[in-house]
Structure 1
Amino acid sequence: MRKVLLSLFLTSTALSVHADEGMWMLTDLQKQNEVAMTELGLLIPTNQIYNPDGIALKDAVVHFGGGCTGEVISAEGLVLTNHHCGYGAIQQHSSVEHDYLTDGFWAMSREEELPCKGLTVTYIDQILDVTDYVNEQLKTDEDPNGTNYLSPKYLSSVADRFAQAENIEMTPGRKLELKAFYGGNRYYLFVKTTYSDIRMVGAPPSSIGKFGADTDNWMWPRHTGDFSMFRIYADKEGKPAAYNKDNVPLKVKKHLTISLDGYREGDFTFVMGFPGRNWRYMISDEVEERMQTTNFMRHHVRDARQKALMKEMLKDDAVRIHYASKYASSANYWKNAIGMNEGLVRLKVLDTKRAQQEALLTRGRSLNDDSYQKAFDQIRAIVQQRRPALYHQQAIQEALVTGLDFMRIPGTTELVSALKSKDKEKIQAAKENLQKAADNYFASVPFPEVERLVGKEMLKTYMQYIPAEQRIGIFKIIDKRFKGDSDAFIDACFQYSIFGNKENFAKFIQKPSLYKINTDWMVLFKYSITDGMLQTAIDMADANKDYNAAHKVWVKGMMDMKLANGQPIYPDANSTLRLTYGKVLPYSPADGVEYSYYTTLKGAMEKEDPDNWEFVIPAKLKQLYEAKDFGRYALPNGEMPVCFIVNTDNTGGNSGSPVFNAKGELIGTGFDRNYEGLTGDIAFRPSSQRAACVDIRYTLFIIDKFAGARHLIEEMSLSSLSPNPSPVGRGEENTPAN
């Protein structure tokens, strides 16, 4: 009996200790998490969150654009997400004459809603555990000891066979996605429906939606209204369809109720979304590798590119608009890499990892099982062997692939083949195809002088980190023909290359020749980059040959050890729908420093700097603040809440995620993490990791009072217990983090 009681105590303790850590599969909630969530404060059963046989909150959470999360907030398909998630679409519709990035955009009628080319919204219809089925299929595979168990192509064919066997109806827009979890120890099939007619409805000006920009990014306290709104359109039968003026707003099966009641410190909360990637099952050697390769290159290469870009963006509004989304995307994970490396050192994460791996190795020895030790030794050897190739690959990727837009020149393979054949019809067809591709290319790089400046900076940065004898092949030409002057080489590219300017291309396409293609600087440069990426991939593929099998064994060992200790388990993030839960809590990042759990508009006013584009405040927002004209969205003390933090386990991809209160009502939208918590992708620390969220009341205030778009508020479902329900601000203990 004592042993049983001790086991129950340890299990309960383990669940409590780890309650805030985890990106949980919705299919496991009832079995693994419901008790712990209820003890923390959840007031609804988990089948109201996820119900495989009915409608639940999950059915109002969507994958926005493939890289963010959104939530449906009206019966007519209105979707709320982050401003930075909608940034590309806002930029798509912006011009110097209609600068929606600077001025914001609000559709005052359905007719004014703007179609967004290429933007999609995806629902998750079903989540099925198909582990047994996949394992049975793998037994009959032609290469049962190969790596098909992780191959997207192979798993896609298995998904099709499963759908056929189970009579899963493939309606318009429906897709199957079968993914491996826990290193290939489990498999889940996601049945999805994607809508492609998505229209922009509203976005605040960047001075609200990106207030604080790079300076405040990944920091707390925050004062940004990081939100934007879109609408899902479908055909008249409610089915996914390409854009058509006759399409209608989607009549959704579930939309969220919005709470105006606020939150207290310690209130339970949960978040649903599509976290992108994390690496909780890494060994310490892999963490060091990440710090010294991927994070190092993101830090230093992007820093150089962003400085060059920003200098030009500040000179010209057209340049600013064109590069705005690219710059924001680059800057986001530039600062992430810096903060992660700093945090990994400060929090001694390597020591934590070493302790975890030693615990598993000790368990293996106690069980007379040497498989964990073999897997561990193999992973360490692989990491050591592949590190030089990974370092070089990241340098090429950051400086020459991601860093150089002008290297997206069209391919010439079809024309080369046609010229060799001397077939006039083939040559004419290839010329026409290349002309179309070239027109698209030149439209995508409208500022060649900016490209030239960035190109020079990127080549010098690449040369700084890669020794001469290891550089890609184009540098032999640079050394021989240009005496090592990379600036002169870039100038030659833009002056003489086929794709250097429209005039050069026009002359070439009139009379194309193999000699011109084979000696063209830009073409040779692109081939050299491609060859460099291929060679480093080959080098790493050789080193990585046995990595997946070893990693699968290692992860299985970690899973078994956790379960033996009474701990729930969860897989690494992989852009699939997850739930994470915790509380609204302040935190202390350093001795003598205390951060409250919410901010108000007063803090934004204190940060205002009219001479710094990151901290400009719109005149109308200042007027509303000075008049205290916050309507029903204000706190009891008359202040306007802006942002708050929760200790949930979030990562990239959770941007735009709905933040729920204990009753399952929407209280905010997740948009960022704090700087001290950037190590969370590798090791979660609930004491220091926080997710930053826009208070839904600030979102509604901006829509209603600032934009005057009350018609949007009227189509939402709002809930409130009293005229001024929020307890925030009632006492000194609730001083905001201004």
Structure 2
Amino acid sequence: MLQRIVKPLLVLALLALTQYSYATEGMWLPQLLSGLNEKEMKGMGMKISAADIYNINKGSLKDAIVSFGGFCTAEVISTQGLLLTNHHCGYGVIQKHSSLQNNFLENGFWAKTAVEELPNPGLFATFIVRIDDVTKAALQDVQPGMTEKERQSAIDKRLHEIRQNARKESWQETMIKPMFEGNQYFLFVTETYRDVRLVGAPPSSIGKFGSDTDNWVWPRHTGDFSMFRIYAGKDGRPAPYSKDNVPLKPKHALPISMKGVKQNDFTMVLGFPGRTNEYLPSEAVKQTVEVTDAAKVEMRDAALKIMDSYMRKDPQIKIQYAAKYASTANYWKKWMGEMQGVKQTNGIARKQQYEATYRQLLAGNPTWQQQYGGVLDSLNSLYRQIQPYAQTRDYYSELVGNVELFTVSDKLLNFLSDARQKGEGQYETLRSQFLESMAPFYQNYNATVDKDICVSLLALYAQGVPARFSGNEYNQIWQVSNKDSRALANQLYAASALTSMDKLKALLQQPLNAVVAQVWKDPAAGMAIALRNGFVENVSKPLNELQLGINKLQRTYMQAQIDVMGSKKRFYPDANSTLRVTYGKADGYTPRDGVRYDFYTYLDGVMEKYIPGDYEFDVPARLIELYKKKDYGQYGVNGKMPVCFIASNHTTGGNSGSPALNANGHLIGLNFDRTWEGTMSDINYDPSICRNIMVDIRYVLFIVDKFAGCTRLIDEMNLVKK
């Protein structure tokens, strides 16, 4: 009778599991596609082979994809090394070249000739030459019973040998990355080019259209792109910047499709996604969205409301705080979307359902039970134990990160520690360097705004952090202020020498010992020290100890999932800034009841959002002129200009600038964002609402050609019209 009950339950659990695993989920290593994904990809419409994506013997798609500066992705779109990436990826470079006389951020920049292309010291583009599985060699000295420190030491020794013996050219480099929580290791042979020049960028009114309001939001109407070019030595190899360098002749340049995208068309994205955590246990997902995300959102929400209130009243403060507001709002909005997405798709319940299936399969195999029995329960238990420490960590980091007086206090304390170690003789030089580094900070600092943020965040910190975690020094200061954050902030900002550049200069004009003595008495520095000491003494140590245990169990649980669930689910390694392939289909989605989003937007939507003079929704006069005339050239479709589209490709940070490709491996768009509800894809991918946002390549070409008149760039591209 028992067997008759268990079997139907197992069938139901496996049916639930098939709903948990989706075809469009995954960030796949390109060299493994032929064995894991090629058949499915072809079934979804792909017309090329896995060998066309990754090949070490001839040019393939991987040879057109670069890690751009180590923080974004870019792709080669001509045989002359022309690179395409996002406007927000090139933003810092464009800003460095800008001035009041030549404001390239506001007005855009277009090099009309190769001579006008601008060098960028420090910027680089890295190609992947080859990927090798080195797991066996990396783990050969690992023995059962090793501590985490002993295990890592044994692995590090082997990794050093592997790098030393790797087959590569003299100008190439290697890196080894752990996969599946350190259960596997892969060697990447790379080529890095360090002469990367700015070629073109639209004005921010196109490249950042919608700015903070539209960030993480669909429908989107942003022309988020910029163009660079890779230069090499005359031998084609990487070389430092030189006027004698020549445009790179790549192994492969992406053809550009003029066909566009239809509903349910196959789409593929290649790039360097930064970080995901797809294999966490249910308690970790629950903790993320119900505890730590909530704490961070609460703190940032308070800070943003205060910034916004001042920015609306004072144009100078608006200028000072525009970048801070955008930076603070970016992940605040992302975390809210993550919380909402997991709730909407019953993500925690789905994780628990997955774990129920895992437990049933585990119980039916004595070998697995002996090897992995109790691992999941222990891991979930550790996450429950770490929760109050993790929550306090996030309250602490948000407090010291958003109250700039505490930020500058930490910087000053670190500077003084460095100066004392190096001695009085170095103080004058170090002081000058420190003051120079602090000048930009104070140019965009307003003590009145910061004090109001401090008032609000200190109150939230006191409510959210138990007294046993905050420390005796902090608790004493809090008690003396009668637990009144306004009174405490008034005291800190009135008496501190850190609220202006002039006060800081006056403080540091004294001898080193006198400065140290005065800083110890400074109320802001004292508060920063009290907060730091409380965190280090009461939170950091137990947090780190628990985290070590979690890391070990997470690695074991990862291998357990692969062994136990491997016949029911394909596993891909979490993102770790290495080259990955993800694929899906162009499609809209339903974010909530009664709402359905289409998968395309058009220039009409730009004009609907247009607000003259608004920093987020202004539109250049030239673009308005082209729209009114419907002068779209070869890039429009039936009298309309496509702008952006969405698909179910699994992306994350680092995929900014990644190419969106069609079934033939031709460029159709440029990835730049995700939908708000789909930001949960870092921990809980669900194809019903997870969508990546791409600018249509035809809009990119329209802006380059019709708007900017930079036809020389169009001429060097391979436009495929059939």
Q: How does the TM-score come out when normalised to structure 1?
A: 0.87
- For 1:562, the equivalent position in structure 2 comes to 565
Contact 1:661/1:667 (<8 A) preserved: yes
Q: Residues 290, 154 of structure 1: CA spacing in aligned structure 2 closer, same or farther, 3 A cutoff? A: farther
Contact 1:103/1:204 (<8 A) preserved: yes
Q: Residues 677, 55 of structure 1: CA spacing in aligned structure 2 closer, same or farther, 3 A cutoff? A: same
- For 2:343, the equivalent position in structure 1 comes to 345
Q: Which whole-Å CA distance do the structure 1 matches of 2:132 and 2:67 have between them? A: 18
2:541 is equivalent to residue 538 of structure 1: yes
- For 2:11, the equivalent position in structure 1 comes to none
Q: Which whole-Å CA distance do the structure 2 matches of 1:249 and 1:76 have between them? A: 5
Q: 3-state SS of the aligned residue for 2:126?
A: strand
Q: Residues 250, 533 of structure 1: CA spacing in aligned structure 2 closer, same or farther, 3 A cutoff? A: farther
Task: Give the superposition deviation at 1:482.
Answer: 6.1
- For 1:57, the equivalent position in structure 2 comes to 61
Q: Which whole-Å CA distance do the structure 1 matches of 2:86 and 2:705 have between them? A: 17
2:112 is equivalent to residue 93 of structure 1: no
Q: Residues 244, 452 of structure 1: CA spacing in aligned structure 2 closer, same or farther, 3 A cutoff? A: farther
Q: What do residues 531-560 of structure 1 show as CA deviations (whole Å, max 9, x unaligned)?
A: 455342312122233222221221112212
Task: Give the superposition deviation at 1:244.
Answer: 4.8
In structure 2, give the amino acid aligned to 1:661: N
Task: Give the superposition deviation at 1:579.
Answer: 0.5
- For 2:658, the equivalent position in structure 1 comes to 657
Contact 1:580/1:648 (<8 A) preserved: yes
- For 2:442, the equivalent position in structure 1 comes to 445
1:668-707 residue pairs with structure 2 within 5 A? 668-707=669-708
Q: What do residues 536-592 of structure 1 show as CA deviations (whole Å, max 9, x unaligned)?
A: 231212223322222122111221233223x32211222211101111122233444
| Equivalent position to 2:78, from 42, 60, 74 | 74
Contact 2:497/2:507 (<8 A) preserved: no
Contact 1:147/1:548 (<8 A) preserved: no
Select between 324-333 and 277-286 the one with higher mean Cα deviation: 324-333
Q: 3-state SS of the aligned residue for 1:86?
A: helix
Contact 1:42/1:268 (<8 A) preserved: yes
- For 1:296, the equivalent position in structure 2 comes to 294
Q: What do residues 669-705 of structure 1 show as CA deviations (whole Å, max 9, x unaligned)?
A: 1111122322222222212221111000001111111
- For 1:641, the equivalent position in structure 2 comes to 642
In structure 1, give the amino acid aligned to 2:640: E
Contact 1:610/1:616 (<8 A) preserved: yes
Q: 3-state SS of the aligned residue for 1:188?
A: strand
Contact 2:442/2:501 (<8 A) preserved: no
- For 1:401, the equivalent position in structure 2 comes to 401
Q: 3-state SS of the aligned residue for 2:87?
A: coil
- For 2:623, the equivalent position in structure 1 comes to 621
Contact 1:156/1:177 (<8 A) preserved: no
Q: Which whole-Å CA distance do the structure 1 matches of 2:118 and 2:96 have between them? A: 10
Q: 3-state SS of the aligned residue for 2:196?
A: strand
Q: Which whole-Å CA distance do the structure 2 matches of 1:54 and 1:91 have between them? A: 38
Q: Which whole-Å CA distance do the structure 2 matches of 1:619 and 1:43 have between them? A: 42
Q: Residues 501, 148 of structure 1: CA spacing in aligned structure 2 closer, same or farther, 3 A cutoff? A: farther
Q: Percent identity?
A: 38
1:68-217 residue pairs with structure 2 within 5 A? 68-139=72-143, 144-147=146-149, 157-171=157-171, 174-217=172-215
- For 2:34, the equivalent position in structure 1 comes to 30
Task: Give the superposition deviation at 1:315.
Answer: 6.5
Q: 3-state SS of the aligned residue for 1:66?
A: coil
Task: Give the superposition deviation at 1:362.
Answer: 0.9
Task: Give the superposition deviation at 1:610.
Answer: 2.8
1:722-733 residue pairs with structure 2 within 5 A? none
- For 2:8, the equivalent position in structure 1 comes to none
Contact 1:122/1:193 (<8 A) preserved: yes
Contact 1:656/1:670 (<8 A) preserved: yes
- For 1:329, the equivalent position in structure 2 comes to 327
Select between 617-626 and 75-84 the one with higher mean Cα deviation: 75-84
Contact 2:403/2:450 (<8 A) preserved: no
Contact 1:361/1:372 (<8 A) preserved: no
1:242-641 residue pairs with structure 2 within 5 A? 242-244=240-242, 247-311=245-309, 324-368=322-366, 369-401=369-401, 404=404, 406=408, 407-409=410-412, 411-417=415-421, 426-449=423-446, 452-453=450-451, 454-455=453-454, 458-467=457-466, 470-471=469-470, 475-476=474-475, 478-479=477-478, 485-492=487-494, 494-495=496-497, 501-508=503-510, 512-521=514-523, 523-535=525-537, 536-565=539-568, 567-610=569-612, 612-635=614-637, 637-641=638-642
Task: Give the superposition deviation at 1:290.
Answer: 0.6
Contact 1:674/1:689 (<8 A) preserved: yes
**Gapped runs of 5+ residues in structure 2?**
1-13
Q: Which whole-Å CA distance do the structure 2 matches of 1:278 and 1:520 have between them? A: 41
Task: Give the superposition deviation at 1:100.
Answer: 3.0
Q: 3-state SS of the aligned residue for 1:85?
A: helix
Contact 1:183/1:552 (<8 A) preserved: yes
Q: Which whole-Å CA distance do the structure 2 matches of 1:493 and 1:198 have between them? A: 48
Q: Which whole-Å CA distance do the structure 1 matches of 2:160 and 2:513 have between them? A: 48
Contact 2:372/2:560 (<8 A) preserved: yes
Q: Residues 344, 665 of structure 1: CA spacing in aligned structure 2 closer, same or farther, 3 A cutoff? A: same
Q: Which whole-Å CA distance do the structure 2 matches of 1:166 and 1:40 have between them? A: 37
Q: Residues 217, 498 of structure 1: CA spacing in aligned structure 2 closer, same or farther, 3 A cutoff? A: closer
**Gapped runs of 5+ residues in structure 1?**
1-9, 419-425, 722-738
In structure 2, give the amino acid aligned to 1:693: M
Q: What do residues 485-514 of structure 1 show as CA deviations (whole Å, max 9, x unaligned)?
A: 332244146536897745324522588554
Q: Considering only aligned residues, what root-mean-square deviation do their CA atoms show, in Å?
A: 3.1
Count of aligned pairs: 696
Q: 3-state SS of the aligned residue for 1:615?
A: coil
Q: Which whole-Å CA distance do the structure 2 matches of 1:572 and 1:15 have between them? A: 20
Q: 3-state SS of the aligned residue for 2:543?
A: helix
Q: 3-state SS of the aligned residue for 1:555?
A: helix
Task: Give the superposition deviation at 1:427.
Answer: 1.4
- For 2:6, the equivalent position in structure 1 comes to none
Contact 1:127/1:190 (<8 A) preserved: yes
Q: How does the TM-score come out when normalised to structure 2?
A: 0.88
Select between 73-82 and 259-268 the one with higher mean Cα deviation: 73-82
Q: Residues 230, 627 of structure 1: CA spacing in aligned structure 2 closer, same or farther, 3 A cutoff? A: same
Task: Give the superposition deviation at 1:238.
Answer: 4.1
Q: Which whole-Å CA distance do the structure 2 matches of 1:183 and 1:207 have between them? A: 42
